[in-house]
Each structure stands twice: as C-alpha cells, then as structure tokens.
C-alpha cells in the first residue's frame, strides 16, 4: 500500500486523514505541532515538528497541503530524499525559477511531481492547449469576502490581471489559476470577485481555441474549517492517491 506523508496538517489534511482507503498515512509534519498530533491521533501516523526528521521516514509520496511558502521551503528536499510529491499550493510554481528547479530535480532523482485538479474540474483535457491553439483563457473566481480576508458589503472586483500577480496577492485563494496555466501552457487572465451574498467558492473557466469553446462553472462547498478552501480540493487529492496504483488510467 502507498505510504503517504502529510506536509501541512490543516483543513485539507484532516479531510484526507478520514478517507484513507487505498493508501496509508505514515507521517505528518506541521509548523504547529498540535495540528500534526491531531492527524497522528486520527491515523496512527508519526507526528513530526522537524521537517528533517519527517522526511527521513519510509514514505513513497509526500502530500503538500500547507502553503505556497512551504513549497518554496521543502519541495526540492522531498524529491532529493527520494519521495514523489503532490503539490496543492501550486501557486508556488508561478515562480519560473522554482518550477524549473523542481522539474530538474525530479528528472535527476527519477521522482514525480503531481499537481491535483484541486478545486476545479476539466483540468485534464485542457492539457490539449499544449498542442492546439488557445485564443482565450479566463478564470473568474468569486468568493465570500471573509475567504479573501477583506470586507465589503457589495459584490466587488478585487483583482483583474495576470495569474502570477494574483497568486502573489492572494496566495491562499487562487492556486487554481496556476494549475490552469501549467495544464494549458498558456497565460490565464484572472478576475477575482468578492461577493458577500455568496456562500460557495465559485470558479468560472472560459476557453476558446482551435478545439471549439468551453465554459465551466463550479460552485464549491467550502471546507468547514477554512472557507477559502473548497471541499473538492481535498477530495481531489484522495482520488489522486487512490488512482496511483490503478491499472486503468482515466482522463487525459
């Protein structure tokens, strides 16, 4: 069975820890030791407050569900220590230097970097953007202002522009834009809206290209402990882990 280490033991990690069919959580690490201990109680995994100790454990894959900063700090070391990595805070890869460094390290060490679909659908087939022209790629994300850490009493556009600039300003809220860029190989135009009447994290994806047109709107239920994060993001990681050993691979 696949041996998993959790890097970041917050809201997503707690959802994963309750659905471990098909894999086994062996170790967990968090800046806040109490959070790692909570996961340890749920799963029997070893809890670590030192990354150096955590990464020495016998693990096949590390799931990062921590922060953009944690990816900068630890992702390379995960690969250097012979483990694959799932990166949920994929906004970190908006930094081309880090992206290339991780890619080179994965090639050299023979490890894999997995970017889950996270809080959106349709990411798999949007990879066709790397072989076929895409003329428009827009992500419109709308969240409750409390998820964005702002206050407003009416629907307001809080950002319009490039994905890399948006993730710099909102590192906990727009990782999906960078996942879209990596999938398609194209820049994503981002609109970020705050709507006090909205209780669901809504992502609209508008694509036009040689293949035709695509429009997707997803209305995600937020996780109870972190309204900025959609429940779907945690489900997406559980699915990715379960599928690793499946003989039939579904989706592009």
Ligand X SMILES: O=C([O-])CC(=O)C(=O)O
Binding mask 176-205 for ligand X (x = CB under 6 A): x------------------------x----
Q: How far apart are CA 193 and CA 177, in angstroms?
A: 14
Strand ranges, E, within the chain: 2-7, 23-29, 46-48, 61-64, 84-87, 113-114, 134-143, 156-162, 189-194, 201-209, 212-220, 222-223, 226-230
Work out the angle at residue 69's Cα, subtended by the Cα atoms of residues 30 and 158, and round it to the nearest 5 degrees: 120
Closest CA to 172 of 12, 6, 4, 7: 12
Segment interacting with ligand NAI (CB under 6 A) among 125-133, 142-150, 156-164, 174-182: 174-182
Residue listed under structure tokens 């069975």 = 1
- Tokens representing 105 are 């390290």
Residue 11 interacts with ligand NAI (CB under 6 A)?
yes
Binding mask 198-237 for ligand X (x = CB under 6 A): ---x------------------x-------xxx--x----
Whether 203 is a known active-site residue: answer yes
Binding mask 129-158 for ligand X (x = CB under 6 A): ------------------------------
Q: Which is nearer to ligand NAI, 133 or 169 (by Cβ)?
A: 169
Q: Which is nearer to ligand NAI, 198 or 211 (by Cβ)?
A: 198
Q: Which is nearer to ligand NAI, 24 or 226 (by Cβ)?
A: 226
């Amino acid at each position: 069975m696949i041996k998993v280490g959790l890097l970041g033991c917050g809201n997503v990690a707690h959802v994963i820890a309750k659905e471990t069919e098909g894999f086994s959580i062996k170790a967990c690490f968090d800046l806040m030791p109490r959070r790692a201990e909570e996961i340890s109680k749920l799963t029997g995994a070893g809890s670590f407050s030192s990354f150096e100790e955590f990464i020495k454990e016998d693990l096949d894959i590390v799931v990062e569900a921590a922060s953009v900063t944690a990816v900068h700090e630890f992702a390379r070391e995960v690969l250097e220590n012979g483990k694959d990595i799932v990166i949920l805070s994929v906004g970190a890869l908006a930094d081309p230097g880090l992206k290339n460094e991780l890619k080179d390290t994965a090639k050299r060490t023979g490890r894999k970097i997995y970017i889950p679909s996270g809080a959106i659908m349709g990411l798999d087939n949007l990879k066709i953007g790397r072989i076929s022209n895409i003329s428009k790629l827009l992500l419109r994300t709308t969240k409750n202002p409390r998820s964005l850490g702002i206050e407003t009493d009416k629907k307001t556009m809080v950002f319009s522009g490039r994905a890399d600039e948006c993730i710099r300003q909102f590192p906990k809220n727009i990782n999906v834009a960078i996942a879209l860029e990596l999938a398609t190989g194209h820049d994503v135009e981002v609109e970020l809206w705050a709507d006090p009447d909205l209780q669901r994290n809504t992502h609209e994806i508008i694509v036009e290209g040689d293949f035709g047109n695509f429009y997707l709107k997803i209305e995600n239920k937020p996780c109870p402990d972190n309204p900025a994060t959609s429940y779907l993001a945690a489900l997406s990681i559980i699915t990715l882990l379960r599928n690793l050993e499946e003989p039939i691979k579904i989706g592009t």
